[in-house]
Amino acid sequence: MPQVLEFKLPDLGEGLTEAEIVRWLVEVGDVVAIDQPVVEVETAKAMVEVPCPYGGVVTARFGAEGAELPVGAPLLTVAVGSTAGELSAAGAAEAESSGNVLVGYGTGAPAARRRRVRPEALSGAGSVTVPAAEPAPVAFAGAIPAAVPGEEPGPVAVISPLVRKLARQHDLDLRQLTGSGPDGLILRSDVESAIRAAASATAEPAPVSAVPASVSASSPASMAPSAGRQAAGERIPLRGVRGAVAEKLARSRREIPDATCWVDADATELMAARAAMNGAGGPAAGPKVSVLALLARICTAALARFPELNSTVDLDAREIVRLRDVHLGFAAQTDRGLVVPVVRNAQDRNAESIGAEIGRLTEAARTGKLTPADLSGGTFTLNNYGVFGVDGSTPIINHPEAAMLGVGRIVAKPWVHQGELAVRQVVQLSLTFDHRVCDGGTAGGFLRYVADCVEQPALLLRTL
């Protein structure tokens, strides 16, 4: 007789507590192999495919596409063990468990071709019945008590503990809400709408005398939004990657007393050195070295001289933690928003190695295949906003790091070179730093060293 096992949303690491279902990869009745990806979810860090540690027949799925689930919520149930004739011998052999639940830690077993088992084949097995339709998500215990005194609280159609916490913070009775999710599931957007509605209801209306008597009811002025009322417009939820970026940037501004210094540098020699490196090996020399890779290599050399900027601040201990390894992040704009992939142990890599890793991570970002590990643990960030055609910016530090180097476009400009006016390739470099970890002298020294290496790449070789 088959055994039904429940697969719950695993802990995807790095403190993530919830994920949004983007796309189901299996349907009820499908036969799945051990560690076969069954659902694609978006966390606050990345889009990932979640493999199921069980092999067998999918008997139920929980959560529609677009729904947010907390870690530990049920994703699907799988009937494992031999079943009636629809399961082949191969399928029955797959009906076991790998015990792996973390993304990226599968057994390496190849994904099996999807097979559908008819519901009647399983219903004859005794204790398992494949539902004809996808069941509604299960409401968790711990619902918000009713606001009416003396009334016994009942279960609420809400899954996410974050939704319940948000309702508690605003004294909102979830039982008074009608959820917009599947089967009335209350989503975070429902709670936020109720909070906005309550705020609008308590807002003080505009004085009547503020509207001239000569304005008729059909005039454009009378059609303007009234005080305390939200103007119409598109609403974009701050969740997933966009929400994570918003929170990180806001936290950086709240916690870090940052300062910015900048300098213009003559990048003509750097561009010539790059051209020489890429032309030295001929067509079969492999991938070209990018300007970003060269700048990243310069940054690692500068951080070796000014380690104060490769650090973080431990507020609880009131300590500055200087970090030994340089995990270099670089800002990358994707269709899903801004992400910062991380090149691990950049201090041990040359320009070619850094460039190859940047290329791999950039491609993963473009295709949405970055993992949470690819986006975590950075110690210093390089932001090349010059690709957008702008000269300068004041970067916001990627919390909890201590500094970020911004690079503008490299463009031909008049420049005094060896005492004469000439047309040179000029770039603006901006360093935003945490003033708690160092003073302006250290930050200026770092930036000046970077600029010197840009202007005279041979300096980097002499100081290695």
Give the active site residues.
435
C-alpha atoms less than 13 angstroms from C-alpha of 45 in its C-beta half-sphere: 18
Tokens of 427: 């770039």
Task: Find the DSSP H helices in 149-187.
Answer: 161-169
Tokens of 320: 């500055």
- 358 by DSSP, 3-state: which? helix
At 76, phi and psi to the nearest 5?
A: -160, 170
CA angle 194, 198, 199 (to 5 degrees): 120
Residue type, 157: A
Q: How far apart are CA 66 and CA 42, in angstroms?
A: 10
- 157 by DSSP, 3-state: which? coil
Parallel, antiparallel, or unpaired for β 258-266 and 420-434? antiparallel
Q: How far apart are CA 185 and CA 66, in angstroms?
A: 12
- Using a 10 angstrom Cβ sphere, with 0-12 exposed, 13-18 middle and 19 or more buried, the burial of residue 81 is middle
- Listed in order, strand segments (DSSP E) in 323-365 are 328-330, 332-334, 337-339, 342-343
* Close Cβ partners of 137 (under 8 Å, ≥ 6 residues apart): 62, 63, 67, 69, 73, 74, 159, 181, 182, 183, 185
Question: Running DSSP on this structure, what letter comes out for residue 54?
Answer: B
